[in-house]
Structure 1
Amino acid sequence: MLLSCGDALIDFLPSRTAEGREAMTPAVGGSCLNIAIGSARLDVPTGFVGGIATDTFGRMIADHAAASGVDLSRATRSDDQATLAFARVTGTETQYAFYDAGTAARNWTYRRDAIVLDGVTCLHTGSTTLVHDKGAAETLAFIEDIRASVTISLDPNCRPNLVKDKDAYRARMLAFCGKADIVKMSDVDFAYLFGDEAYADRAGALLSGGASLVVITRGNEGAAAWHRKAGSIEVKAPVVNVVDTIGAGDSCQAALLAALHRLDRTARQRLRDLSAAELTRALSFACKCAAFTCTRAGADPPRSRELPADYW
């Protein structure tokens, strides 16, 4: 089983009324919840760990996750309100305004020994949960307790508008990278954290620091990956008619983890022995699923039955 630990929220996405006026349409989102949904839709047993409200929006989140087959038995339901994020698409990037003070997601607390780990081989985390001191501390405590036996996956999915101290945030992300077996980030996140540093140089440093796999996604340019044993590879992204890019990065990460699951390369030692051919196959599948997600509005990752046979 895969667990995804972090944010679950409601995105308000740009839309238009029948009269052509600007409007906002609510949709379930949150990077870590999106990844749980994406992997569950690709037939990977998946659970979500984090705070989910009991209000109207919280019920939307829970119903949406359950409909995709995500196990919510490890989630914490609370009377705190749900996090809301208002999205605006600029070019190929989506910018967000977050309203998350005192929310169920932000107030989530790791309860030691209360999360069942039987059968869990991989934990994913990242995004807004790691911006705030409490969320980062609670998640780190969880990771420290389980990393001896569970593979750790990280996507920083940076939210600069939430960051108050960039140097401190960068140091925090480097610390989490040091705990992770799989590190994936977009080219935009890489530039925010590492500036003009060469991808290969930073990937080498992360691999030397303990990671087994580093992935950089580059939008319609595809993705590149570096692995301790398999070396470096690049794959192209398929050409599609883009509706929007919301959730594409999360879909890519979910599909990458799903592909590793299919290949039986999720457990730490199995991941370390990944071959170049397997890495190419997994990353290609991830890019195809991300491209598929871009063909429809919102964070709506594909189900296995929707994908052409040649995707895998």
Structure 2
Amino acid sequence: MLLSCGDALIDFLPSRTADGREALTPAVGGSCLNIAIGSARLDVPTGFVGGISTDTFGKMIADHAAASSVDLGRATRSDHQATLAFARVTGTETQYAFYDADTASRNWTYRRDAIGLDGVTCLHTGSTTLVHDTGATETLAFIEDIRPKVTIALDPNCRPNLVKDKDAYRTRMLAFCAKADIVKMSDVDFAYLFGDEAYTDRAEALLSAGASLVVITRGNNGASAWHRQAGPIDVESPVVKVVDTIGAGDSFQAALLAALHRLNRIARQQLREISAAELTRALSFACKCAAFTCTRAGADPPRSRELSADYW
């Protein structure tokens, strides 16, 4: 089983009324919930860990997760309000305004010994949960407890508009990278954290710090990866007609973890021994799933039955 720990929220996506006026349409989102949904839709048993409100929006979140067979048994339901995010698409990037004060997600705490780990092989985390002190502290405590037995996957999915102290945030992300077996980030995230540093230099530093796999996604240009044994690998992204890019990075991460699961390379030792051919296959599958997500509005990753045989 895969667990995804972090944010679950409601995105308000730009749309149009019948008479052409600008409007906003609510849709379930949150990077870590998106990844749970994406992997569950690819037939990987998946659970979500985090705070979900009992309000109307929280019910939308829970119903959406259940519809994709995401196990919410480890989530914490509370009467704190749901996090809301208002999206605006600029070029190929989506910018967000977050309303996240005193929400169910912000108030989540790690309940030691209350989260069953039987059968769990991988924990993913990242995004807005790691911006705030409490969320980062609670998530790190969770990782420290389970890391001896479980592969850790990280996608910082940086949200600069939530960051108050960039230097402190960067230090925090490096601390989480040091605990991760898989570090994935977009080229935009990389630029925010590491500026003009060469991808290869930073990837080698992360591998030296303990990671087995480092991945940089580059939008239309595909993805680049570095692995201790398999070496550097580049894969292309298919050309598609883009509706929007919301959730594309989450779909990539979900598909990558699902592919590693399918290849029996998700456990730490098996991940360390993955071949270049296997890793290329997993990364290519992830690029295809991310591109598929871009062909429809919002964070709506594909289900296995929607994918043709050549995806895998």
TM-score category of the 2 structures, normalised to the smaller one: over 0.9
Are positions 1:162 and 2:162 aligned together?
Answer: yes
Q: The residue matched to 1:278 in structure 2 has which SS?
A: helix
Structure 1 partner of 2:83: 83
Post-superposition Cα deviations, 1:217-255, rounded to whole Å, max 9, x if no partner, equal: 000000000000000100000000000000000000000
Deviation at 1:308, TM superposition (A): 1.1
Q: Deviations over 1:77-127 (max 9, x none)?
A: 000000000000000000000001000001000000000000000000000
The letter for the 2-side match of 1:16 is R
Query: Secondary structure of 1:174's match?
Result: helix
Query: Residue 36 of structure 1 corresponds to which residue in structure 2?
Result: 36
For the residues of structure 2 that align with 1:288 and 1:246, how far apart are their CA atoms? 15
1:96 aligns with 2:100: no
- Counterpart in the other structure of 1:209: 209
Find the aligned partners of 2:257 and 2:117 in 1 and give their Cα distance.
Answer: 18
Q: Does residue 229 of structure 2 align to residue 243 of structure 1?
A: no
The CA deviation string for residues 107-155 of structure 1, in whole angstroms up to 9 with x for no partner, is 0000000000000000000000000000000000000000000000000
State the 1:53 CA deviation: 0.2
Question: Which amino acid is 1:79 matched to?
Answer: D
- Encode CA deviations 1:183-232: one digit per residue, 9 max, x unaligned: 00000000000000000000000000000000000000000000000001
Residue 303 of structure 1 corresponds to 303
Mapped partners of 1:283, 1:172: distance in 2: 27
Which residue type is aligned with residue 254 of structure 2? A
Cα shift readout 1:265-294 (whole Å, capped 9, x = no counterpart): 010000000100000000000000000000
Please say if 1:180 is aligned against 2:180.
yes
**Cα-to-partner distance string for 1:49-88 (whole Å, 9 max, x where unaligned):** 0000000000000000000010000000000000000000
The aligned counterpart of 1:134 is 134
1:47 aligned partner: 47
The answer on 1:268 being equivalent to 2:268 is yes
In structure 1, the residue corresponding to 2:226 is in which secondary structure? strand
In the alignment, structure 1 residue 231 sits paired with structure 2 residue 226: no
Distance 1:19 1:102 in 2: 37
Partner SS, residue 284 of structure 2: helix
Question: SS where residue 23 of structure 1 aligns?
Answer: strand
Letter paired with 2:280 = T
Partner of 1:284: 284
Partners of 1:204 and 1:69 lie apart in 2 by: 37
Cα distance in 1 for partners of 2:37, 2:220 equals 23
3-state SS of paired residue (1:277): helix
Distance in 1 (CA, whole Å) between partners of 2:88 and 2:309 is 34
1:57 and 2:57 correspond? yes
Amino acid corresponding to residue 201 of structure 1 in structure 2: D
Aligned counterparts of 2:114 and 2:23: Cα–Cα separation in 1 = 42
Q: Which runs of 5+ in 2 are unaligned?
A: none
| Structure 1 consecutive aligned stretches of length 4 or more whose deviation exceeds 3 Å | none
TM-score, reference length from structure 1: 1.00
Separation in structure 2 between the aligned mates of residue 269 and residue 254 of structure 1, nearest angstrom: 20
TM value normalised by structure 2: 1.00
SS in 2 for 1:12: strand
Q: In the comparison of the two structures, how many residue pairs are matched?
A: 312
Identity %: 89
SS at match of 2:24: strand
Give the equivalent residue in structure 1 for 2:107.
Answer: 107
Q: Distance in 2 between matches of 1:110 and 1:134?
A: 10
Computed over aligned residues only, the root mean square deviation of the Cα atoms, in angstroms, reads 0.2
Letter in 2 for 1:241: K
- Could you say which residue in structure 2 is the equivalent of 1:21? 21
Unaligned runs of 5+ in 1: none
Aligned-partner residue type, residue 176 of structure 2: F
